[in-house]
Chain A
Amino acid sequence: MSNSLTTPGIVPARLNPDAYAEQFDDLYPDYDPHEAMVAADRCYFCHDAPCITACPTEIDIPLFIRQIQAGQPEAAARTIFDQNILGGMCARVCPTETLCEGACVREAAEGKPVEIGRLQRYATETLIQKNAHPYTRAPSTGKRVAVVGAGPAGLACAHRLAMHGHDITILDRREKPGGLNEYGIAAYKAAHGFAQAEVDWLMQIGGITLRQGWTLGADGTLADLQAEFDAVFLGIGLAGVNALGLDGEVVLGARDAVDFIAELRQTEDLSTLPIGRHVVVIGGGMTAVDAAVQSRLLGAEHVSMVYRRGRDAMSASDYELSHAANEGVKIITNAMPIAIHANGAVREVEFAYTHAGETGMEPTGETFRLKADQLFKAIGQTLVGAPEGVALDGRKIKVAADGSTSVPGVWAGGDCTGGGEDLTVTAVAQGRDAAESIHASLMKSGA
């Protein structure tokens, strides 16, 4: 094939075959040991450190950095994993600028925080890459727990429960475990098969069985699970996507960004993955950024990311947005889609500029059109398939602080529940805490 950046339409192989590996390689290379030492030396070992408070999983960050300084990154990794078993992935995908690094006193002092994310990655890598699992299971309790969903919440929950000696079955509708880590984030954030490597490493705890291709509702009900298991954890994520609500939305060339990202992540040879010359992404979150940046990396000549409100309201972090801009994504704010112009396939998307009015975002009356061979919709995901009888809080599953739902014996965590900003690290915290609650409950009832 001899396509190029300027080939019209949605075509594969816009780049030289050798270019893809480099394009989608790790955003950051690992620290080497000396770099890690120098970076670690910048930590002040603050009293009651603000970075710990800012971390949803409350990792003892000054301690693990000191352990790196003291020449024991493996011990540092253990400190991290004690709180966050997916500390490896979180080191890659956490919006650290709004979490630990945002709270770092050196951010306040110099605008240059300790690079906690990269240090965490350096530490966790020492155990994951060696495939050395630091935990052992407690003696078997004979209790069985079903974990629905093999994403961050489910994995964190399953690992913690397995550690306590329970037997866990993870049920997941996809082919591979990992949830959004495997299907939902940009490839360059989890390069070299990291998501699967991390799951494999995590599963070494033992006592966890994976049942794949199993969908809640279609292949079994909550009642079935309750009958078979002593407890159930729901980490089912947000399987639905919001629609734009425009006429002609279902048309060739238009698709959900999450599907595009999932397909990209599962494509072995990225030169076979078709991409438009003119790509328009609608949305202002991380999914929109990941879709837009990866479109550029695949060779799309023009990629615009359009958001209906102002930049401040975008849920994508400043860091992510500047990364997108660096990669050549044009970011347009205060513009809402009002029409899709197609001719068998998407041709143009028409937008109206907006301003904040009495009733929310209102059109200013000015419109513009963007050429689009391909349109990705990334305006949010929704909960679908929540089991009957489980109470909701708004559009998500209602949970107490310990993750318990309205149904006795059923817990939930991660994006399918509220209050977590849909971050990986929050899902891990919720899965872990639910596991502790489940454990306490099982041991009480078993006594």
Chain B
Amino acid sequence: MHLTDAERAMRDGERGPAVARAMDLLIRYGEALGAERLIEVTNVAGTWSSTTPWVQAGLDRPDDFATIFSRFNLDSDETVEMPPAVVPTCQLIHGIDTRNWQLQGFTADQAALQRRSEAHFGRRGVQWMSTCTPYQVGNTPLKGEHCAWMESSAVVWINAVIGARSNVEGRESTGAAAITGRIPLFGLHIAENRRASHRVRVECPPETMMDWGLLGYAVGEMVMEEIPVLAGIAARPRPIFLKHFGAAAASSGGVEMYHIPGITAEAQSEAEALGGRAPAHDHVYSPAERRRAWENLQSASDDAVDFVMLGCPHNSAEQMIEIARLLDGRRISPNTRLWVHTPRQIRALCDDGGITAAIEAAGARVMSDSCPAINRALPPGTRVVATDSAKQAHYLPAIAGVQVWFGSLEHCIDAALTGRWRGGP
């Protein structure tokens, strides 16, 4: 792989041992990809989370952040301290809610360790946005900006909706990118790789949040890791619909980029989305495909719901207001728990605006920083879950061994209030 003089100097240790280890990893990674060279990135989103049992395994002291950083953010056997990040760098979703840790079953020591890790890496430039949706709390790269982001649902957002450029990176590559400002030139960093190869003719136009989740789940299975263009979307979606669509498509498949002519950043027309070529594959999304996606998302048979999970990807402020309105003056079932997840910055907004109080007055809890799929923290005894998230419905059975109902926000609120699942396609 070709390296610039500056990159060779980094590899050879001129900017210290951590940067040298980072370059070593980026070179191994770039060569694995078959990349010709590295590219400069100006925005990094990754994870420096230090509290999970696996990251903690084998440490002499739990706050040995240098060892954690070296092992898991650089894949380095040599222990090095993290130097300051050289580009804007943010922390994605992690394991412990620093306010609701007790409810999640964590100890005071674990919560304190989380806060210490935030201060440790925060001083080195990591912004603890602590959400899977940094784009909802001010981290919005520009069109064409090269980024190194983790979190499949966020990567597909910045690629498709904004037109920034990132592959789905991992913990180790974003750890290296933050202190070098480099990532291998591959995949979606290259303009010609951003065109659609699949066309999905949408004969069953999505209207609701649930519809967009179902469409995303079906499209992910159709195209896997390829790029689709959706034909036949007439009504402009709300931003939250695209958030749900992308997260679902990145769960059932590996969709990192898509086009909706007239709506997403790099497709004024279907022809532009396809780069002037005919689609290599044509698919149809009809009511039958919608129905199949709905059925594939259901893993529950018992209609007695123990736990309702909302906010995957993390809720926007408008979603929080909608939930507060649906819960207004009502009380959730004594047999059911309802957790509503939103970024800590939006939680602050909801705290000040009376939204948190309205939601919690109904017996629900407003949670941040994490989610049950990330930390496996569900209310004790949970067997049956209801969620409005296709992503959560996809992953929770494998991660937490629970049955999951997928449906609309209204279905989920009804389940929380009655303790029964009465949703349908």
Q: Do A and B come from one complex?
A: no
Q: Which residues of B contact A (CB under 8 A)?
A: none
Q: Which residues of A contact B (CB under 8 A)?
A: none
